[in-house]
């Protein structure tokens, strides 16, 4: 098992990438702290894991709040004695996030608070515990839109993911000699509730898909497998980099026929 005797904390684990990663990490031997603001969904993830005789616990936390992030890391220490893998995955894509003229300040601030501050707070409290635990891996969910302007306007989301990518690089440099690796995981367009609720018409879906060389949305399970690679010792010489799992969208400069 690739994560035997490891403790992993995953935010945004009530659904989508977070849920699939939690299930996969547990299967690979990790004790998993499932974190989300959604209590019902988070506990459902835990049940899916424990039903397979694996180990997981739920901690309710709003990652945009410093005290909640401090609490979730303390929970990991109390429950399992340490922390080796921190997957800062929680994020939102607000339905009213559009271009610079149409997006309200409140929508912009909420997006930045969850998507960027959530990563900052996770690292602020999680990295010291990882260091105490002998080192490990931090994975921050960015996005392909950190490189490309989105075909459907989402100014706050795009800005937030660019910030996550830049922050991941700096964190990696700071903590590299402490046995802590920090990498960004950048998914392409996925068939998750988060994106499908944003691309809520067939026209919007096709406008995004036309740019993807593989011609389909990715699946949360595919991103979870990429996260497992970054979490495990298979990626032991990787830090400060970005793992793009995007169906080729960032490699394309013309619309495929």
Percent of the chain with pLDDT over 90: 84
Check if the beta carbon of residue 5 is closer than 8 Å to that of residue 55.
no
Closest of 23, 69, 68 to residue 44, by C-alpha = 23
Q: Is the pLDDT of residue 256 over 70?
A: no
pLDDT value at residue 252: 85
Prediction pTM value: 0.95
Closest of 84, 209, 90 to residue 152, by C-alpha = 209
pLDDT in tens, 204-223: 778 778 888 998 899 999 99
Closest of 187, 167, 174 to residue 195, by C-alpha = 187
Closest of 46, 14, 137, 148 to residue 87, by C-alpha = 137
Closest of 38, 26, 78, 60 to residue 227, by C-alpha = 26
Name the CATH topology of 7-245: Rossmann fold (3.40.50)
pLDDT value at residue 150: 77
Beta strands in 56-207, from DSSP E residues, in sequence order: 56-60, 85-88, 136-141, 180-187
Average pLDDT over residues 69-95: 97
Which positions are annotated as active-site residues?
157
Average pLDDT over residues 108-121: 98
pLDDT value at residue 221: 97
pLDDT in tens, 146-202: 998 877 789 999 999 999 999 999 999 999 999 999 999 999 988 877 777 777 787
Average pLDDT over residues 28-56: 98
What does the alpha-carbon distance between residue 44 and residue 19 come to, in Å, rounded to a whole number? 9
Closest of 37, 43, 84 to residue 64, by C-alpha = 37
Average pLDDT over residues 52-80: 98
pLDDT value at residue 255: 55
pLDDT in tens, 191-209: 877 777 777 787 777 877 8
Q: Which residues contact 177 (CB under 8 A, 6 or more apart)?
A: none
Check if the beta carbon of residue 251 is closer than 8 Å to that of residue 213.
yes
Q: Which residues contact 124 (CB under 8 A, 6 or more apart)?
A: 66, 69
């Amino acid at each position: 098992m690739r994560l035997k005797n490891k403790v992993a904390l995953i935010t945004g684990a009530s659904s989508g990438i977070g849920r699939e990663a939690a299930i996969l990490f547990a299967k690979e031997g990790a004790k998993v702290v499932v974190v989300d603001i959604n209590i019902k969904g988070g506990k459902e993830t835990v049940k899916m894991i424990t039903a397979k005789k694996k180990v997981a616990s739920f901690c309710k936390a709003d990652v945009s709040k410093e005290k909640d992030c401090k609490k979730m890391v303390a929970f990991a220490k109390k429950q399992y004695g340490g922390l080796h893998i921190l997957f800062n995955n929680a994020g939102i894509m607000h339905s009213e996030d559009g271009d610079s003229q149409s997006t309200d300040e409140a929508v912009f601030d909420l997006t930045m608070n969850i998507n960027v501050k959530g990563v900052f707070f996770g690292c602020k409290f999680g990295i010291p515990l990882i260091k105490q635990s002998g080192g490990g891996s931090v994975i921050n969910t960015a996005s392909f839109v950190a490189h490309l302007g989105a075909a459907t306007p989402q100014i706050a989301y795009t800005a937030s993911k660019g910030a996550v990518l830049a922050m991941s690089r700096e964190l990696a440099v700071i903590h590299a000699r402490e046995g802590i690796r920090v990498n960004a995981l950048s998914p392409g367009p996925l068939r998750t509730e988060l994106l499908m609720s944003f691309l809520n018409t067939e026209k919007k879906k096709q406008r995004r898909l036309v740019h993807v060389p593989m011609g389909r949305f990715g699946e949360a399970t595919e991103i979870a497998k990429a996260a497992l690679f970054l979490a495990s010792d298979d990626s032991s010489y990787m830090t400060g980099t970005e793992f793009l799992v995007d169906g080729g969208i960032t490699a394309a400069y013309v619309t495929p026929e």
